[in-house]
Amino acid sequence: MKWRQRRGVALLIVLWGCTLLAIMLGGFAALARTEGLQARYQFAQVRAHYAAEAGLARAVAGLQSPDIDARWIADGRIYPFDFDDAKVAISIVDEDGKVDLNAASNDVLVGLFKAAGANDDAARHVAAAIQDWRRPGDAASPNGAKKAQYEAAGLGYGPRNAPFATVEEARMVLGMTPALWAKVEPVLTIWSGRERPNTEHAQPLALAAIPGLGDNGAQAILAQRNQSRGSLASGGNGVTHTIRVEAILDDGTRSSLTSTIRLRGIRSGNQPYAVLRWREGDAE
């Protein structure tokens, strides 16, 4: 009887052992499958990323083509590009067609914020606050903001009292709301040094910021641009550009990057461009 009991216990132990082994093997199989999927995803992401970087290199080559008729135009139009099995879309915007945070006049800044949807009062206050941010001294201009106004608003910082160091710094300016920032950020720069955008390359919102141009003038400029899609604008390209590249693989894997570069020309032993700003993905 005891022999049968011991035999039953041994059989039970064997069954539990087999069950435990089956669970462990199932876990290992699931883990291996998960790691395989992760590896495939990461590999696809790397391929898409390098396809996007190839698009950036193609854009630089297009901007500096020895054949002026084949040279790419930096006015925001889309250039398609095939790289391996990726579809790459490239757009280039000349920085001189944007509103310079450090150089734009009050009229241009007010025009920009009004065109972006701010009312007259809000547009004047944000424009003045931007000028106070970049201007040395502690005295606020009319409608503007210096440290006292930031403290009164409950903010633990004040203006730089010096030129903007980055475009993103403008998010901190008193009165700059997230909604307003989202609209104006694509047409802001710190690299043009111009009081107003160059109409040859400016996007619609930047054109709308130019005093006296009006909707009719902006539409006429855009229409003329569309008629000359195959050739360089009369003013040519500048040297500082923001290039946005999006690469999509056949399986839908996507990678994007946005880079502001300054061209250095094509000379032996010289890096053809310097990177001023780099952002991967769509997040701010």
Structural domain boundaries in the chain: 1-98+197-284, 104-175
- Residue 188 in tokens: 């802001």
For residues 172-184, one letter each, b for 16 or more C-beta atoms within 10 angstroms of the residue's C-beta and e for the rest, the string is bbbbbeeebbebb
Say whether 76 sits in a helix, a strand or coil. Answer: strand
Give the pLDDT of residue 234.
44
User: Stretch 164-176: mean pLDDT, rounded?
Assistant: 96
180 or 33, which is more confident? 180
Give the pLDDT of residue 273.
87
**Cα 69 to Cα 61: distance, rounded to the nearest angstrom:** 13
Contacts of 199 (CB under 8 A, 6+ apart): 97, 207, 210, 213, 221
What is the average pLDDT score of the chain? Answer: 86
| 229, pLDDT greater than 80 | no
pLDDT, tens digit, 9 for 90 and up, residues 136-167: 999 999 999 999 999 999 999 999 999 999 99
**Cα 251 to Cα 260: distance, rounded to the nearest angstrom:** 29
pTM listed for this prediction:
0.79
Contacts of 209 (CB under 8 A, 6+ apart): 99, 104, 108, 109, 111, 112, 115, 187, 196, 197
Confidence band (pLDDT; 50, 70, 90) for 36?
Answer: low
Q: Which helix (H) or strand (E) holds 8?
A: helix 2-63
9 or 192, which is more confident? 192
Contacts of 240 (CB under 8 A, 6+ apart): 94, 95, 96, 189, 191, 192, 260, 261, 262, 263, 276
**Cα 54 to Cα 15: distance, rounded to the nearest angstrom:** 58
Lowest mean pLDDT among 121-125, 172-176, 226-230: 226-230
**Cα 8 to Cα 5: distance, rounded to the nearest angstrom:** 5
CA distances from 229 to 97, 142, 172, 197 (A): 17, 44, 38, 20
Question: What CATH fold (topology level) applies to the domain 104-175?
Answer: Ribonucleotide Reductase Protein R1; domain 1 (1.10.40)
Contacts of 147 (CB under 8 A, 6+ apart): 138, 158, 159
User: Stretch 172-176: mean pLDDT, rounded?
Assistant: 97
**Cα 18 to Cα 22: distance, rounded to the nearest angstrom:** 6
Do residues 210 and 106 touch, judged by C-beta distance below 8 A? Answer: no
**Cα 117 to Cα 259: distance, rounded to the nearest angstrom:** 27
